[in-house]
Amino acid sequence: MKTILVTGGAGFIGSALIRFLINETDHRVINVDKLTYAGNLESLLSVSDSERYHFVQSDISNIEIIQHLFTKFQPDLVMHLAAESHVDRSIDGPSEFIQTNIVGTYTLLEVARAYWNKLASEKKAAFRFHHISTDEVYGDLEGADDLFTETTPYAPSSPYSASKAASDHLVRAWHRTYSLPVIITNCSNNYGPYHFPEKLIPLVILNALEGKPLPVYGDGKQTRDWLFVEDHARALYKVVTEGKVGETYNIGGHNEKQNIEVVLAICSLLEELAPNKPKGVAAYKNLITFVTDRPGHDLRYAIDASKIGHELGWKPQETFETGLRKTVQWYLENSEWCQHVQDGSYQRERLGSIKE
């Protein structure tokens, strides 16, 4: 049994990772999360009673608390997911993205480095700092057949992706300069259960069920590679336990779809799974509303995930069709979770928590 310190574990991807770690492994998990608007402990209710799970509410930029946690829990692995991640919010207010994504990562790296340097030789050799990043650091693709690889030059387009690119560079520098044993993963767009409703797929599902407009930026032809979040969790565990120190692994779902295709697919599933539409709605797709595109909107992302497949034997278990069906079904069956997010009550409840 190892002790894994997960930052941002109350977020969408972080909570999926922790559910996987508690349900599918025997490791102890320390979840460190600031609980900003995107942190939701209700997403961890199914594992919060486990003796192997501990929650600590803290800002990763708080060096005193982070040092205390490393001393107290003695982690074997760090999986760093804590980040501000919404592009529109980064355009409206980039300062929080700089603080959390850059300064927070720097703080973790420095605490981890000091801790790692003092470890006994066997534990020192096994320690890993796994930094979880995004494909948005690469910018967008021009050619219809181009793919992001692990060596694609960085060309971020938004304050969010620029801050994540900066954090990636810091992690690599701490490996090159100080030999800290790091691994980086860059993933494509995640989707699945417990996704915060400001994101495209849950927003469309919940708006459609309420008869609200389904906003689509520009002409809706922006293309993304979609990765089911539970497939991502499995990939992250594979990387942190089997990946090579100093390497980067791209994680993708092999599911390129235009945004408008995604929205139409959701509408089609809802016609089947939720045929009793809101009053006045003849068809869910009639709710689609094209809105002004956002500044600096990348046109196409697509991941070449062949490296993680060849070297570590990982591949996604879900197709986009099976994953999207599971996602829509989950939102239909978990209206209480959705309601608590929409009315803000999830922020007033700190469930199953152990605070420092």
> Which residues does the annotation mark as catalytic?
135-136, 160
Contact predicate 222/259, CB 8 Å: yes
Contact predicate 150/248, CB 8 Å: yes
Alpha carbon distance 133, 150 (integer Å)? 12
DSSP of 106-175: HHHHHHHHHHHHTS-HHHHHH-EEEEEEEGGGG----STT--B-TTPPP---SHHHHHHHHHHHHHHHHH
Residue whose tokens read 């470890």: 119
Other CB atoms within a 10 A radius of the CB of residue 356 amount to 12
Three-state SS for 55? strand
Contact predicate 128/181, CB 8 Å: yes
Give the sheet arrangement for strand 248-251, strand by strand: 53-57, 28-33, 3-7, 77-80, 128-134, 182-187, 248-251
Q: How many residues would you count in the chain?
A: 356
Say which DSSP state 303 is in: B
Of residues 193, 319, 341, the one with CA closest to residue 265? 319
